[in-house]
Amino acid sequence: MVSNRAKNKHVALIVEDDLNLAEALGDLLKSLGHDFIHAETQEEGLRLMEEGQFCFAILDLQIKVDADAIYPMVEAGAQLQRQIRDRYPNRNDNDQHHLQILAMSGHAKEMFNVIGMLQNGADDFILKPLGENNPPLHVKIQECLQKSGRENHADCAHIMELARGKPSRSNSRPVAPKRKTERSDISLTIPGQIEGKRTEVAINGVSQHLPDAQLLLLMRMVAGRAQDDSGWVHKQDLGSRDADGFKGMSNLNSSLKPLLPGGMSFYENDKMGSYRIKPEIIIGEIDHTQLALHSQREIRQLSAIIQKMRLAA
pLDDT digits (tens, 9 = 90+) for 67-81: 999 999 888 998 999
Exposed, middle or buried, 94 (CB in 10 Å: 0-12/13-18/19+)? middle
Average pLDDT taken over every residue of the chain: 86
What's the confidence (pLDDT) of residue 173? Answer: 40
Please count the structural domains in the chain.
2
Domain that holds residue 237: 186-312
Q: Are residues 108 and 195 in the same domain?
A: no
Cα angle 74, 77, 81; round to 5 = 135
Task: Note whether residue 288 is domain-resident.
Answer: yes
Q: Are residues 209 and 155 in the same domain?
A: no
Task: Note whether residue 194 is domain-resident.
Answer: yes
Confidence class of residue 64 from pLDDT cuts 50, 70 and 90? very high
Q: Are residues 254 and 204 in the same domain?
A: yes
Q: Is the pTM of this model over 0.75?
A: no
What's the confidence (pLDDT) of residue 111? Answer: 59
pLDDT (tens digit per residue) in 104-163: 887 655 556 667 777 778 898 888 888 888 789 999 999 999 999 999 999 999 999 999
Alpha-carbon Rg for the chain, nearest whole angstrom, is 20
Q: Are residues 155 and 202 in the same domain?
A: no
The distance from CA 186 to its chain's CA centroid, rounded to whole angstroms, is: 26
Exposed, middle or buried, 246 (CB in 10 Å: 0-12/13-18/19+)? buried
How confident is the model over 300-305, as a mean pLDDT? Answer: 88
Judged against a pLDDT cut of 80, whether residue 183 lies above it is answered with: no
Pairing of strands 198-203, 194-195: antiparallel
Q: What percent of the chain has pLDDT over 90?
A: 58
What's the confidence (pLDDT) of residue 1? Answer: 52
Cα separation of 300 and 292, whole Å? 5
